[in-house]
């Protein structure tokens, strides 16, 4: 019997380390970034990030945060 491969999940946590959202898939659709997952472990959700909103979000990031984001993937 073949073992089912486990779908990777990324979790977004609140300030108390409680799960807000479990992200199951990120992809592109109609020129937007589409994030699929579940909120609070129960409600399915599809979130879309448009190019205009992505540019607006980048304006919120300062130099120090940008450097942190670049090195974040290499931290434990």
**Using one digit for the tens of pLDDT, what is the confidence trace for 9-32?**
999 999 999 999 999 999 999 999
Model-level pTM? 0.75
| Burial annotation 41-69 (CB, 10 A radius, 16+ → b, else e) | eeeeeeeeeeeeeeeeeeeeeeeeeeeee
For residue 3, pLDDT over 80 is answered with no
Please count the CA atoms within 13 angstroms of the CA of 19 that sit on its side-chain side. Answer: 13
Q: Please tell me whether residue 1 adopts helix, strand or coil conformation.
A: coil
Residue 21: CB atoms within 10 A of its CB come to 20
Please report, for the chain, the start and end positions of each structural domain, with discontinuous segments joined by +: 10-72
- pLDDT band for position 71 (50/70/90)? very high
What are the residues whose beta carbons fall under 8 Å from the beta carbon of 28, sequence distance 6 or more? 34
Over the stretch 50-69, which tens digit does the pLDDT of each residue have?
999 999 999 999 999 999 99
- pLDDT band for position 6 (50/70/90)? confident
């Amino acid at each position: 019997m073949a073992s089912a491969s486990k779908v990777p999940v990324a979790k977004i946590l609140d300030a108390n380390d409680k799960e807000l959202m479990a992200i199951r898939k990120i992809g592109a659709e109609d020129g937007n970034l589409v994030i699929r997952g579940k909120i609070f472990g129960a409600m399915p959700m599809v979130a879309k990030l448009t190019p205009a909103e992505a540019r607006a979000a980048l304006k919120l990031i300062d130099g120090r945060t940008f450097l942190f984001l670049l090195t974040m993937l290499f931290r434990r």
